[in-house]
Amino acid sequence: MPNEQTTEKKPAVETIRIKVDGREIDVPKMTPDWQGKPQKTTMLQACALAGIEVPHYCYHPKLIVAGNCRMCLIEFGTPAIGPDRKPVLNPDGTPKISRSVLPYEPSTPRGAIACATEISPGMELYPNSPATKQMREAVLESLLINHPLDCPICDQAGECKLQEYSVDYGKSKSAFAEEKVHKPKHVELGPRIVLDDERCILCSRCIRFSRDIAGDDALGFVSRGSHSTLTRYPGKNFDNNYTLNTVDICPVGALTSKDFRFQMRVWFLKETKSICTSCGTGCNITMGSREDKVYRFEPRENDAVNSCWMCDYGRLNYKWINRQDRLAVVQGSKVNVTDPLTEWPRTISEITGLLGRASTGSAAIIASARQTNEELFLLKKLADKLGAVTDSVSRSGEGDKLLLNADRNPNSTGARLIGIAAVPMGSNLPKIAAGIASGGIKTLIVFGEDVTTVGIGENLLAKLDLLIVSDILPNKTTVLAHYLLPGCAQAEKRGSFVNVKGRVQRFMQNIQPKGNARAEWEFLHELTHGVTGQNGFASIEGLFNQMAAEVPGFKGLTWAGLGDLGVTVTI
Amino acid sequence: MPQQYRLILKNVDQPGYTPDLDCYLRHGGYEVLKKSLALPGKDLADGKKMSAQEQIREDVKISGLRGRGGAGFSCGLKWSFVDRKSGKPIYLICNADESEPGTFKDRQIIYKDPHLLLEGMIISCFANDVHLAYIYIRGEMTDGAKILNRALGEARAKNFLGKNILGSGYDLDIHVHRGAGAYICGEETGLIESLEGKRAYPRIKPPYFPAVLGLYMCPTIVNNVETLAAVKHILQMGASEYAKLGTPNNTGTRIVSVSGHVKKPGYYEVEVGKATLGDMIFNAEFGGGLREGRTLKAVIPGGSSAKVFKAGEKFKLKRKGPDGQMTPVDVDMLDLPYDFDSLQQAGSMSGSGAIIVMDDTTDIVQALANIADFYAHESCGQCTPCREGSLWLAKALHRMDNGHARRADADYLLNIAQNIQGRTICAFGEACAWPVLSFVKKFRDEFDARGISDEAKNAAAGPSQQLKIAASPASS
């Protein structure tokens, strides 16, 4: 059952009434902190609830508060208390507010850092007052005096907080008449990270992330004052599996990804919500491409799955999408297909005919747990019609405590829920091998696996009457296929996966399929319904909803209901 | 005529007085500790009992003792903020990171009468249920650390420290921790971070108030050396007797460090407020006046971070008139009583009790450049305004001092400093902004004159000179 849809009554939330820019608003007294523990609501959180963004650099909702950048300083006031310890009232009966001022210079407003200062009843926040604006201008100016201002060659340009806030609080001309501080450039912190210390604004986000989230206290500052320099621990390589997250959270262009730097201007990237397929965690990602070439994965916040993070292994596991040897042509050994416009209909039609004539129990289906739920659902329908034995191939590696799961398939749970995978996964593979050897199995349908690596060798494959293979990269199985149906990477199609914890998550198409390849669910829709004679949906939405109606594990779900963050089912 | 009043320094510098335990005991040492540990509970009018610890804490409150480190905050009040219900251990730290330029008073106690500090500290620990305390000593004071460690060893051997101190059932140990040479370690939360083995980055307050979330996130008291030494005397002479020393709200004695252009630079213990700033400089008992033929130009009254006073400057101070009303009266800078409140009313502070005297030979721009260098060098670099602003100020001042001043520079400096004060994590922001704000405002003519003459000179020398930017020593 989807947990999200329970209609439990939430207890009344205790609120505090404050004013933000003169507007009264009730905000919860407590708000989750970086670890999700309820803590007293801060000014910054209260302003966010009031729809007002407080600019900041060092604050990050998923990191311990540091309070060092001072960009979030805001002017505020609190109800004045008289000598009798009672609130002082204005002539009109409203509470008198005393604005915060410097104790030694009462004509000058004193700001408080919104990221760390708790709100209190009756407090007034002035996030847009002239004094607040002046404080931001001064902080920004300080951050920029020693900054190289090399935006034209900086990878962060376009998604840089210094640039963004310069528009609101910057000056067109610098007052700085001195020589800038010079610091190390092009510092290799680790195998995947390059640091430009001159761009660094010393916000310490990367240090806090590495220490508190990744558990690798590898980064720190050396030297003092304006000469403070970010560096790694002497003799230690910054090479844990989460280093690239520091590039994401670096508000400026100090930390850059070796993989992405100088590759593409970020404003050219087409960004799509997707899911990482490198393990069973299913980290939510934003995929960035230009002209059908994928350039980067970045984590997309989902507190139910990956917070704001993803591992380097998953993040960099995208190059194969752009590989030159991607399967892009439909191949049939029985017929010579030459016309790209008609090759798909003719091939599907031929396969439909062949499968329709196969005797019950003479076929087997091996479908990868990297295929989507929708594809596995269609394959399961086909298997039921053919009386085929089915299975998937397990894939495992070393997991860690943070995000990387030992299950390296993105959809093992989906394969189990749909019933394609045997329990345990892979236990039917020897039976299929034996069936082929004995001649009982004459037709094998393989989706997304090289079965020669799991005990069904080339000699066995050679015995088959019919070998239908769909894949995206060539391997020993695709070479032997009688029919080869080029499929799509997750970047090229839509679909859903179920992660190891039962989170059903959908992903969107970012780029076009290679050559004449098609999304597997599209041609499986034609094939399955051709063989079974049943009707079905030709859209991913309809297909998912049909699956949800038929597969008990997905009961009650809808494609639209998955939203961007998915829904957890009981597994 | 004001005299020195040697209470804390009573034995210091006396012929034959040595920093060892035997000498201290010969002079009545640790008697106050013995008395304090044996103090019986006191019955109160409402039938409740006041423990020995509560009585000592109350005595410190009654004494009016204000912190001698710089902020002058009430010691009794500070102790009352300690979270005693958290169930966590309470720590006490002696802040011996004396490093405010011009200040050399704590080291007199540490080097010459270490057991006085220890006795005051042990009593303070007992009063606050502290079982583990630290002396955080400035890294440069290598001998001081040795002296303290030797004194701690002697005290342990005689059971003034350790388990069941003098049979009282009270346990305490004290460790000396040496800093690595950073001014910011004197900031109490920076000190705590440093003591925990981290960079001395001051903590944000809220939420990290030491009285609640201090050392190892436990309630912690951080007191200055001189403050803790005073505690021993408060209990020895009685809190109300101590409160009679000095002036109302500025009680007790204070060790004042006088340096700069005076005949007799040195440390002088006085009753707080009984001597004026002028006395401290000119009185033969103290600074002994300026050198022959010199006139006074400026005085920094409380360590280099305090706002400067200009010779001849007058302040409006509230004084009780003959009719009992508080009326503002004009007071000359030299007539300011050297206490906490008067200097604050005059817009500066007595800070760490360090008076820096500058006579008419002083180049104000150069003097300020020197001070700014110190703060640029010592800024920890954690928060933006101070990190960037402190070096910016130093570079600008060195440029000015190297023949490249501009007419706009006075406002330029004021603007930079104005954007530091009040916007930083700790009071270092004020410490580096205040000298600049006060020097430039009070000696603006000298800054402007530099700009006018340098601009004229550089314009005559040609465009290459105008564009040249002087590199500051602080930028290396």
pLDDT tens-digit profile, chain B (476 residues): 789 999 999 999 999 999 999 999 999 999 999 999 999 988 888 888 999 999 999 999 999 999 999 999 999 999 999 999 999 999 999 999 999 999 999 999 999 999 999 999 999 999 999 999 999 999 999 999 999 999 999 999 999 999 999 999 999 999 999 999 999 999 999 999 999 999 999 999 989 999 999 999 999 999 999 999 999 999 999 999 999 999 999 999 999 999 999 999 999 999 999 999 999 999 999 999 999 999 999 999 999 999 999 999 999 988 877 788 888 899 999 999 999 999 999 999 999 999 999 999 999 999 999 999 999 999 999 999 999 999 999 999 999 999 999 999 999 999 999 999 999 999 999 999 999 999 999 999 999 999 999 999 998 987 665 555 544 444 43
Query: Over the stretch A63-95, which tens digit does the pLDDT of each residue have?
Result: 999 999 999 999 999 999 999 999 999 999 999
Map tokens 């912690």 to a residue.
B220
Contact yes or no for B399 and A177 at CB 8 A: yes
Nearest by CB to A181, from B379, B469, B475: name it.
B475
Is the dihedral angle over the CA atoms A554, A559, A561, A562 positive or is it negative? positive
Q: In this structure, are residues A476 and A458 in contact, taking their beta carbons and an 8 Å threshold?
A: yes
Instruction: Check if B260 contacts A (Cβ < 8 Å).
Output: no
Overall average pLDDT of the A203-223 stretch? 97
The whole-angstrom separation of Cα A404 and Cα A306 is 10
**CA–CA distance, B376 with B396 (Å, rounded to integer):** 12
Q: By the CB < 8 Å criterion, does A44 face chain B?
A: no
Is B57 touching A (CB cutoff 8 A)? no
What residues of A are in contact with residue B378 (Cβ under 8 Å)? 224-225
Buried b (16+ CB within 10 A) or exposed e, A386-402: bebbbbbbbbeeebeeb
Angle CA B103–B109–B112, to nearest 5: 120
A118 min Cα distance to partner chain B (Å): 8
- Residues of chain B with Cβ-Cβ distance to A70 below 8 Å are 383-385, 423-424
Tell me how far CA of residue A465 lies from CA of A343, A480, B318, in angstroms: 21, 12, 108
Q: Do B419 and A141 touch (CB under 8 A)?
A: yes
**B423–A contact, CB cutoff 8 A:** yes
Q: pLDDT digit string (tens) for A26-50? A: 999 999 999 999 999 999 999 999 9
What are the strands, taking DSSP E only, across B109-213? 130-137, 173-178
Chain B residues lying within 8 Å of A178, measured CB to CB: 392, 395-396, 399, 469, 472, 475
3 state SS for A223-288? CCHHHCEEEECCCCCCCCCCCCHHHHHCCCCCEEECCCCCCCCHHHCEEEEEECCCCCCCCEEEEE
**A5 close to B (CB below 8 A):** no
DSSP run (H or E) holding A74: strand A73-79
Contact B441/A at CB under 8 A: no
CB contact B182 to A (< 8 Å): yes
* Helix/strand number for chain A, H first, E second: 15, 27
Residue B318, strand partner residues: B328
Residues 324-363 of A with CB under 8 A from B: none
CA distance to A116, B449, B474, per residue, from A179 (Å) = 34, 23, 11
With left for phi above 0 and alpha for psi between -120 and 50, is residue B7 left, alpha or beta? alpha
Burial A278-309 (b: 16+ CB within 10 A, else e): bbbbbbbbbbbbeeeebbbbbbbebebbbbbb
Neighbour-count burial of A264, counting CB atoms closer than 10 A to its CB (0-12 exposed, 13-18 middle, 19+ buried): middle
Q: Which of B206, B385, B425 sits opposite A139 (nearest CB)?
A: B385
Given a contact cutoff of 8 angstroms between Cβ atoms, the answer to whether A179 and A201 are in contact is: no
Confidence at A3, pLDDT banded by 50, 70, 90: very low
**Interface touch A105/B390, C-beta < 8 Å:** no
| B68 in reach of chain A (CB within 8 A) | no
Instruction: Work out whether the CA dihedral B40, B44, B49, B51 comes out positive or negative.
Output: negative
In this prediction, residue A537 carries a pLDDT of 86
Contact list in B for residue A105 (CB cut-off 8 A) is 421-422
Q: How far is A184 from chain B (nearest CA, A)?
A: 14
- Our CA-based measurement puts residue A427 at a distance from the nearest CA of chain B, in whole angstroms, of 54
CB contact (8 A) between residue B419 and residue A142: yes
| Contact: A202, B381; criterion CB under 8 Å | yes
Long-range contacts from A394-399, C-beta under 8 angstroms, 24+ separation:
A394/A369, A394/A424, A394/A425, A394/A426, A395/A369, A397/A279, A399/A279
User: B380 contacts in A (CB within 8 Å)?
Assistant: 224-225
Q: Which of A60, A389, A86, A78 is nearest to A246 (CA)?
A: A60
Q: Which of A71, A142, A174 to mutate to test the interface with B (most CBs of B within 10 A)?
A: A142
Which positions ≥6 away from A405 have C-beta within 8 Å? Answer: A279, A280, A281, A399, A500
Cβ pair B469:A108 closer than 8 A: no
Cβ–Cβ of A224/B206 closer than 8 Å? Answer: no
Across the interface, do B381 and A111 touch by the CB < 8 Å criterion? Answer: no
Verify whether the Cβ–Cβ distance B423 to A139 is below 8 Å: yes
Peptide bond into A251 cis (omega under 30): no
Residue B347 with chain A: CB contacts under 8 Å: 104
Structure tokens at A315: 């993040």
Residue B379 Cα, gap to closest chain A Cα (Å): 5
Task: Using DSSP, state whether A470 is helix, strand or coil.
Answer: strand
Does the beta carbon of B206 lie under 8 angstroms from any beta carbon of chain A?
yes
- CB B215 within 8 Å of CB B195: yes
Mean pLDDT for A300-316 is 97
Task: Report residue A208: phi and psi, to 5°.
Answer: -65, -40
Spell out the alpha helix ranges (H) of B158-284.
188-195, 210-213, 225-237, 239-244, 277-282
Residues 6+ apart with CB under 8 A from A559: A496, A506, A540, A541, A544, A545
Closest CA to A141 of B392, B425, B469, B435: B392
Sequential DSSP letters for B278-307: HHHHH-TTTT--PPTT--EEEEE-SSTTSP
Would you state the pLDDT for residue B2? 82
Give the single-character DSSP code of B274: T
Q: Cβ of B389 under 8 Å from any chain A Cβ?
A: yes
Q: What's the gap in Å between the CA of A292 and the closest CA on chain B? A: 42
Give B472 to chain A, closest Cα distance, Å. 8
Q: What is the pLDDT of residue A337?
A: 54
* Chain A CB contacts of B182 below 8 Å: 224
Chain A closest-CA separation from residue B70 CA (Å): 15
Query: Can you tell me the distance from the alpha carbon of B136 to that of B192, in angstroms, rounded to the nearest whole number?
Result: 9
Note whether A55 and A72 are within 8 A (CB): yes
β-pairing, B90-96 with B130-137? parallel
> Are the Cβ atoms of B421 and A102 closer than 8 angstroms?
yes
Helix (H) or strand (E) holding B456: helix B444-461
In angstroms, the separation between the Cα of residue A513 and the nearest Cα of chain B is 49
Give the list of residues 6+ apart from residue B131 with CB closer than 8 angstroms, or none. Answer: B89, B125, B171, B172, B173
